[in-house]
Structure 1
Amino acid sequence: MSNGMIEDFDVGSDWHVAAPYEFLAGLRRERPVFHSEHLGAYVLTRHADVRAAYGDPKRFSSEGSLTISRSLTRETRDKLGEHGSFLSSFVANVDPPDHTRLRRSVSKAFTPRAVSAMEQHFRQLNEDLLDRVAPKGEADFVSEIGHEPSIKLTARFIGVPEADEGFVQAHVKDWFQLFLSPQPPDRQLELADSFLTYLDYVDRLVASRAKEPRDDFTSLMTSLIGSELSHREVVELISTILLGGNDTVPNQLANSVLRLLREDAWPVPPPLIQNAVEECMRIDGASLGSFRYAATDISLHDVIIPGKSLVLLSTDSAAHDETVFPDPERFVIDRPNADAHMVFGYGIHFCVGAALGRLQLRTALDVLGRRLPGLRLADEPIVYRKSIVGRGLTALRVTW
């Protein structure tokens, strides 16, 4: 590598999430199919290759790809039992025809009418939060502003009672750590306990809606058990949507606010908000990529990826590919093709919650820009969480 400092990914280091772009640019230039010892995976970094792999589920299979249990000890795996392959039936984690069936079921809940009703509710949640927080003049954006509206909206959508929101948030965080970031053996066992408690909770929620349906996502999915979905598929669908709403969307919002403040682009004029959201996702994506398995030997750029190998599709690198996004490290609020990023995936596995995620980001920037036009960064160091596939801040002190 011409960037002699860094030879491989390193999930434990600060640069891995905060500033990987020089390293990724070197890979795109010189080693577009890179074998990472650290990740135990081949890594695709060019936009065209990442998109082609997403679009080719026959060769780049999703079967079991989210199950990052390679880093789990035997003891942890035994404890998890059948749930060690958790997400084995989650939509992002299966191939057609199972995928087609799951996807069809889920999309029944995301009708345009349902999504627009959620916008009104989400706007109100943000306004209510700011009524409480605005008088303080300062806050940690991550813990006090960014998460709550998204958690509440997701809980209401799924059908999680308000009293259980904190429980769900804490357990989702544990789940994220267990499966998506490396942990020492004793911590793994604690997290596995927490995870099993969480699955048991979702399991009981599904059982109660089967008895008494309500107007929520869980009831809708539960009504399809037997005809279209299995009980376990419903439990896994619910838990993953809760992950998006409790973690990924709030992370993206905080990343976006940090970027806009650093670029002196706050508040964003309403006509520019939609594109600003896309450019923020492109340049500071909360999701760094997706894993796939090579279903067969795959030859690409004179490298053979052996069948059964794990492959990381680096959407983070793809979003900084200079052949698609000129001057990729520069934030351009009205960049014409900003939405060509693949933060929500691409092809058949395009994120089912993408419309809802985008709506939350646009609405939050609109309300926050209007209510806190004088928002600025406090003078504190910026620290990112360590993760294999996510970018999120541990805190973001702001004043206004």
Structure 2
Amino acid sequence: MIEDFDVTSDWHVADPYPFLARLRAESPVFWSEHLQAYVLTRYADVRAAYGDPRRFSSKGSLTISRSLTAETREKLGEHGSFLSSFVANVDPPDHTRLRRSVSKAFTPRAVAAMEETFRQLNEEPLDRVAPQGGADFVAEIGHEPSIKLTARFIGVPESDEAFVQAHVKDWFQLFLSPQPPERQLELADSFLTYLDYVDRLVASRAKDPQDDFTSLMTSLIGDELSHREVVELISTILLGGNDTVPNQLGNTVLRLLREDAWPVPPSLAGNAAEECMRIDGASLGSFRYAATDISLHGVTIPAGALVLLSTDSAAHDETVFPEPERFWIDRPNAADHMVFGYGIHFCVGAALGRLQLRTALDVLGRRLPGLRLVPGQPIVYRKSIVGRGLPSLLVAW
């Protein structure tokens, strides 16, 4: 009997790989009672599902708002289906239109122009903490640069960064992790406050455009985008910059220190980042809905069923990545992981995320070549089905 996915268990996020390996071998299309979803675990199946939006629909797939109570739904009102028009949560033709608009801000030139800014943002916390000889990497070093870069990109004033970070964490919990009824109401209040903030930011840029993403998207309202679509785009990009990218950096630094691979030679920084995303991805997969009955490996997934595309399992598939539990800093195909998705829903910010990881490893390796883990500390991961992140990581140098 294979155990089930259980996001409340420590093993689930910390070390699910023996479990996932058994699923790939014995039950590649697995029905999870805990998730109330089918799970695809093999690389080929996950990639094929990403590439087949007609059968594996993204519409409504991001939110788990089905777990919200009636009272919480009532409080949220029209926002109970938040993300309903976000680019990763819709199918073509809406997806095609939204992605075309967002891509205008993520041209190769625009991304490259952010490198020097991000390099400086990585230097600033190190200037403060380097004399201390030690720090909590998550709280004092790793998260701040990405949060600040995202805020500048979006157009969030520096004075509002802490506000945005706190509220982004709350909405992640509300929509992407199950919560008890009383906590749902608290998070719903926080979410509505946050949504009002983004709404006012969009309105202010409509009147007084600046050189930022919000102004660019606001200029498209009426012709290509609706006001609500712009609010949802901004809200969700802020999630990536405040949560996913910094979580990946924390996972990456932990892996490199455990593997005695610190500091990373600059020539290997890019591939090292890819191998760390493969073996310790901050994003664990994506949900889809079966648009029709789908038969796979002797299992019929009924139309309307929820399906988890487990990129975490796919990244450890032995048929694609030999010795998948081995960290191989120059693994030739490390970048074939699907942490950023695949196909039409490949993350529009992937190039920026990769640039951030490479740049951070370069600056950190140069400034803190003697970085090491504080011995004896418990390594604990945040409990979530969709993301792997460290609340704390004590380091010294």
Fold shared by both chains (TM-score > 0.5): yes
Superposed, 1:281-296 pairs within 5 Å as 281-296=277-292
More deviation in 20-29 or 112-121? 112-121
2:91 aligns to what? 95
Which of 272, 276, 280 aligns to 2:268? It is 272
One-letter amino acid of the counterpart of residue 21, structure 1: Y
Q: Match for residue 118 of structure 1? A: 114
Counterpart selection for 1:362 from 338, 344, 358:
358
1:252 maps to what in 2? 248
CA distance in 2, matches of 1:104, 1:111: 11
**1:84-128 Cα shifts (integer Å, max 9, x gaps):** 111000000000000000000000001122111111100011112
2:369 is the alignment partner of 1:399? no
Deviations 1:144-186 (A, max 9, x none): 1111000000000000000000000000011111111121110
Which whole-Å CA distance do the structure 2 matches of 1:39 and 1:47 have between them? 20
Question: Which residue of structure 2 lines up, in the alignment, with residue 326 of structure 1?
Answer: 322
* In structure 2, C-alpha distance between the alignment counterparts of 1:134 and 1:156, rounded to whole Å: 25
- AA of the residue aligned to 1:251: N
Give the counterpart of 1:262 among 237, 254, 258: 258
Other-structure match for 1:382: 379
**Aligned residue runs from structure 1 range 131-146, under 5 A:** 131-146=127-142
Q: Distance in 2 between matches of 1:257 and 1:212?
A: 41
Shift of 1:83: 1.0
**Residues in 2 aligned to 1:288 and 1:202: alpha-carbon distance in whole angstroms:** 27
Equivalence map 1:179-328=2 (5 Å): 179-328=175-324
- Matches of 1:177 and 1:63 in 2, distance apart? 20
Map 1:75-94 to 2 at 5 A. 75-94=71-90
Q: Distance in 2 between matches of 1:112 and 1:321?
A: 31
Residue identity matched to 2:315: A
Look up the equivalent residue of 1:396 and give its one-letter code.
L
**Residue identity matched to 1:392:** G
- Describe the superposition over 1:37-73 as per-residue Cα deviations: whole angstroms up to 9, x where unpaired: 1001000000000000000000000000001112211
Aligned length, in residue pairs: 396
Deviations 1:324-368 (A, max 9, x none): 000000100000000010000000000011001000000000000
3-state SS of 2:320 partner: coil
Matched, 1:128 2:131: no
- In the alignment, the residues of structure 1 paired with residue 33 and residue 364 of structure 2 have an alpha-carbon distance, to the nearest angstrom, of 43
Residue 287 of structure 2 aligns to a residue whose secondary structure is strand
Counterparts of 2:107 and 2:317 in 1: how far apart (Å)?
33
Runs of 4+ in 1 over 3 A off after TM superposition: none
- 1:322 Cα deviation after fit: 0.3
User: Structure 1: how far apart are the matches of 2:260 and 2:172?
Assistant: 32
Secondary structure, aligned partner of 2:307: strand
2-structure distance, mates of 1:81, 1:321: 42
Q: Secondary structure at the match of 1:243?
A: helix
In the alignment, the residues of structure 1 paired with residue 77 and residue 289 of structure 2 have an alpha-carbon distance, to the nearest angstrom, of 22
Residue matched to 2:173: 177
TM-score, reference length from structure 2: 0.99
1:264-321: CA deviation from partner (whole Å, max 9, x where unpaired) = 0000001010000000000000000000000011111110000000000000000000
- Provide the residue aligned with 2:56 in structure 1: 60
**Which deviates further from its counterpart, 106-115 or 246-255?**
106-115
User: What is the identity, as a one-letter code, of the residue corresponding to 2:83?
Assistant: L
TM-score scaled to structure 1, two decimals? 0.98
CA distance in 2, matches of 1:59, 1:112: 32
Over aligned residue pairs, what C-alpha RMSD do you find? Answer: 0.7
SS in 2 for 1:120: helix
In structure 2, give the amino acid aligned to 1:237: L
What displacement does 1:20 show? 0.4
CA distance in 2 between counterparts of 1:225 and 1:257 reads 41
Once residues 138 and 212 of structure 2 are traced to their aligned partners in structure 1, the CA distance between those partners, rounded to angstroms, is 27
Cα displacement string for residues 199-250 of structure 1 (whole angstroms, at most 9, x for unaligned residues): 1100000000000000000000000000000000000000110000000000
Residue 72 of structure 1 corresponds to 68
Whether 1:165 aligns to 2:130 is: no
Counterparts of 1:399 and 1:24, CA distance in 2:
34
Counterpart of 1:36 (choices 10, 23, 32) is 32
Distance in structure 2 (CA, Å) of the matches to 1:82 and 1:331 = 46
Please state whether the residue corresponding to 2:147 is helix, strand or coil: helix
**Structure 1, 113-122 or 247-256: larger mean CA deviation:** 113-122
Gaps of 5+ in 2: none
State the alpha-carbon separation in 2 of the partners of residues 110 and 7 from structure 1.
42
Counterparts of 1:139 and 1:338 in 2: how far apart (Å)?
30
SS at match of 2:351: helix
Question: Is 1:9 matched with 2:5?
Answer: yes
- The letter of the residue matching 1:42 is Y
CA–CA separation in structure 1 for the residues paired with 2:341 and 2:80: 24
